[in-house]
Amino acid sequence: MSEREAPKGGTVSIFYKATRPDGTDFYSGTVLYEVGKRVHPRNRVSREKAQLCGPGMLHAATVPTETLVGGTWPCRLFAVEGKPVAGLDETHPHKAGFRELYVVEELPAWQVFGPQGEEVVALIERAGRLTEEEVQRLDAAWTAAWDAATRDAAWDAAWWASRSNAARYAAWRASRDAAGIAAWNAAAVGAWVAARNATEDAAMALVVRDLIRDEHFRALYDPWASVVGDET
């Protein structure tokens, strides 16, 4: 969440909202987000009855990397402003509920994946173009690199970073899902399980690359890099 100067003085809080590629919300597909417009839920509720996950609420996050809770890639990303009436508590520290939102501007969608977002998106797109030969090589690379203790330590480091060091858990999960689906679609036949695992590991490692030790990043990313190289 950030702040900007309001037209009549003071500041207003800026939140972030991810939508489907057509601009509608992920939950219902009926609320359309457009720059310069105010949006409202289908069934508005009073402030007294407002509950974060209840009916008649709009949702937005304090940071772009938490906008894909309940959403998927590809998406669009908007900066929005409004007055929170629910959330922003110990249970949902980065998620807020609103009775209305004003759409300030559209942002580059890769920001949902954090500082390395452009690299994450490039990896996902590249995964969708994997050839049968590359799938076989990814299978071999991921299997050859297997070491339970090393992999577990790297996974634990990446998971902990996504949950604790920064609000990136939604981005971490969404990158895994998007990369895995892209690899699976490209590798409809052949050794797709290991190819999917290698691609998922690489995407998740990129999301938290700036938060984990290089040895943990390399343990997750190198099987992908050994096949695809620097193309991402």
Q: What angle do the packed helices 132-144 and 214-228 form, to 10 degrees?
A: 150
Q: Which range has highest mean pLDDT (76-80, 128-132, 142-146, 183-187)?
A: 76-80
Q: How far is CA 116 from CA 128, 157, 175, 214, in A?
A: 19, 17, 11, 15
Q: Looking at the structure, tell me whether residues 222 and 119 fall in a common domain.
A: yes
Distance CA 39, CA 71 (A): 19
Q: Looking at the structure, tell me whether residues 224 and 120 fall in a common domain.
A: yes
Q: Looking at the structure, tell me whether residues 105 and 118 fall in a common domain.
A: no
Please state the rounded mean pLDDT for residues 215-226. Answer: 96
Q: Indicate the pLDDT class of residue 126, thresholds 50, 70 and 90.
A: very high
Q: Looking at the structure, tell me whether residues 29 and 42 fall in a common domain.
A: yes
Distance CA 96, CA 87 (A): 4
Q: Which range has highest mean pLDDT (52-66, 113-127, 194-208)?
A: 113-127
pLDDT of residue 13: 86
pLDDT of residue 11: 47
Q: Looking at the structure, tell me whether residues 101 and 15 fall in a common domain.
A: yes
Please state the rounded mean pLDDT for residues 1-11. Answer: 48
Q: Looking at the structure, tell me whether residues 175 and 196 fall in a common domain.
A: yes
pLDDT of 12 above 70: no
Distance CA 204, CA 175 (A): 6
Nearest to 45 by CA among 27, 58, 31, 61: 58
Q: Looking at the structure, tell me whether residues 108 and 122 fall in a common domain.
A: no
* pLDDT tens-digit series, residues 13-43: 899 999 999 999 998 899 999 999 999 987 6
Structural domains of the chain, count: 2
pLDDT of residue 60: 96
Mean pLDDT score across all residues of the chain = 87
Q: Residue 149 belongs to what domain range?
A: 114-228
Last residue of a domain, one of 77, 112, 147: 112
- Number of neighbours of residue 190 by Cβ within 10 angstroms: 17
pLDDT of 113 above 60: yes
Exposed/middle/buried for residue 226 (C-beta within 10 Å: 0-12, 13-18, 19+): middle
* pLDDT tens-digit series, residues 143-174: 888 787 898 999 999 999 998 866 899 999 99
Q: How far is CA 145 from CA 85, 140, 151, 222, 231, in A?
A: 49, 9, 9, 9, 21
The amino acid occupying position 76 is R
Residue whose structure tokens are 């009926």: 30
CATH classification at residue 48:
3.20.170
Nearest to 135 by CA among 72, 214, 56, 190: 190
Q: Strand pairing partners for 4?
A: 12
Please state the rounded mean pLDDT for residues 185-209. Answer: 84
Name which residue leads in pLDDT, 60 or 193. 60
pLDDT of residue 10: 42
Q: Looking at the structure, tell me whether residues 17 and 99 fall in a common domain.
A: yes
Q: Looking at the structure, tell me whether residues 104 and 125 fall in a common domain.
A: no
Please say whether the beta carbons of 224 and 199 come within 8 A. yes
Q: Looking at the structure, tell me whether residues 17 and 108 fall in a common domain.
A: yes
pLDDT of residue 229: 83
Q: Looking at the structure, tell me whether residues 108 and 152 fall in a common domain.
A: no
Q: Looking at the structure, tell me whether residues 156 and 122 fall in a common domain.
A: yes
The amino acid occupying position 61 is A
Please state the rounded mean pLDDT for residues 107-118. Answer: 98
